[in-house]
């Protein structure tokens, strides 16, 4: 891990109740790992005391805050986080993106880092591997999640992947830097379509030739203290739009990426 830093990306919207639980756990895990690290939080127009909580934790942790004055949604928040990370990272660094609502336990981060060091470009925390699972998820939500993963696997098959919708992931900084250079502002193109950006990143990275891996993890939805931000109808529309954009034979993402590679 010499000369390598870990950059942790957190999208936040109205997370004043979750931050005091999550941020100290991140700090503790990183200190135990003995690595240089930085946390970047994008406060996406929060209306509660998220900004004040982040200000307090800037005194205790290596924490940078990006602020949206109005709520712009997960797509634009993710874009700003990844673009900022690409600006400050060296190719050998590792990015960890997790949710800010304390449903993604930082204790899994070391396993994800170890998997990246095995040679993978993207490592996803998976509920669907042996040893993985979820706590506190309703039967309806679990059913919707399963259906979404089956849809994604059918239309965007990626070798070695069972978990498509979880945003808890580790990335080699090099693959993110290269992807942003290739796609520019369209690395996350479907910014206004709910949680679609979570899948869009996978699709774009697949087009870049990324090698994917997974580690088992347990989603702790029972620890969630903030309201859910997902709008199922909007995200479903986003998946449909992305399927068309990926498979469209005249100028679709696959064709555009193939053209760029041949130049």
10-residue mean pLDDT profile of the chain (263 residues): values are 85 95 97 95 96 96 97 92 96 96 96 96 95 88 78 82 91 96 85 76 90 96 74 69 71 60 48
pLDDT at 236: 75
Tell whether 86 is covered by a domain: yes
Position 244 in a domain: no
Residue 248 lies in a domain: no
Output b/e per residue, 208-233; b: 16+ Cβ within 10 A.
bebbbbbbbbbbbbebbebeebeeee
Angle of the 253-262 helix axis to the 232-247 helix axis, nearest 10: 50
Residue 48 belongs to a domain: yes
Range of the domain at 123: 5-236
Instruction: Collect contacts of 229-238 with beta carbons under 8 A, ≥24 apart.
Output: 229/13, 229/74, 230/194, 230/195, 231/194, 232/144, 234/193, 234/194, 235/193, 235/194, 235/195, 235/196, 237/193, 237/194, 238/190, 238/193, 238/194, 238/195, 238/196
Instruction: Tell me the CA distances in angstroms from 42 to 15, 51, 83, 164, 184, one per residue in order.
Output: 11, 10, 12, 23, 20
Within-domain flag for 263? no
| Residue 260 resides in a domain | no
- Per DSSP, the three-state class of 189 is coil
In the numeric block, which tokens belong to residue 217?
């993890």
Tell me, yes or no, whether 105 lies in a domain.
yes
Burial class (CB in 10 A: 0-12, 13-18, 19+), 259: exposed
Give the per-residue pLDDT at 100. Answer: 93
Q: Which residues contact 12 (CB under 8 A, 6 or more apart)?
A: 19, 41, 42, 43, 44, 46, 50, 54, 100
Query: How do beta strands 122-126 and 169-172 pair?
Result: antiparallel
Is residue 101 a part of any domain in this protein? yes
pLDDT at 263: 46
The confidence score (pLDDT) of residue 35 equals: 92
CATH of the domain at 230: 3.90.550.10
Q: For residues 157 and 150, what is the distance between their CA atoms, to the nearest angstrom?
A: 10
User: DSSP state, 163?
Assistant: -
pLDDT of residue 262: 45
Number of domains in the chain: 1
């Amino acid at each position: 891990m010499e000369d390598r830093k870990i950059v942790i990306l957190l999208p936040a919207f109205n997370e004043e109740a979750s931050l005091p639980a999550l941020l100290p756990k991140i700090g503790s895990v990183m200190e135990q790992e003995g690595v240089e690290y930085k946390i970047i939080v994008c406060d996406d127009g929060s209306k509660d005391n998220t900004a004040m909580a982040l200000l307090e934790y800037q005194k205790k942790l290596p924490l940078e805050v990006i602020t949206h004055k109005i709520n712009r949604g997960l797509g634009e928040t993710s874009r700003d986080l990844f673009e900022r990370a690409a600006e400050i990272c060296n190719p050998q660094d590792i990015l960890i993106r997790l949710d800010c609502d304390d449903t993604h336990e930082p204790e899994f981060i070391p396993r994800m880092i170890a998997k990246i060091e095995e040679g993978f470009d993207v490592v996803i925390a998976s509920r669907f591997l042996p040893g993985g699972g979820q706590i506190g998820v309703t039967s309806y939500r679990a059913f919707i999640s399963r259906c979404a993963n089956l849809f994604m696997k059918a239309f965007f098959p990626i070798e070695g992947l069972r978990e498509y919708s979880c945003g808890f992931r580790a990335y080699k900084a090099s693959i993110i830097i290269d992807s942003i250079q290739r796609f520019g502002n369209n690395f996350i193109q479907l910014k206004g379509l709910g949680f679609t950006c979570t899948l869009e990143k996978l699709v774009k990275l697949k087009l870049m030739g990324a090698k994917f891996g997974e580690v088992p993890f347990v989603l702790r939805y029972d620890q969630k203290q903030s309201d859910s931000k997902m709008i199922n109808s909007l995200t479903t529309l986003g998946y449909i739009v992305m399927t068309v954009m990926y498979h469209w034979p005249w100028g679709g993402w696959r064709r555009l990426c193939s053209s760029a590679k041949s130049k």
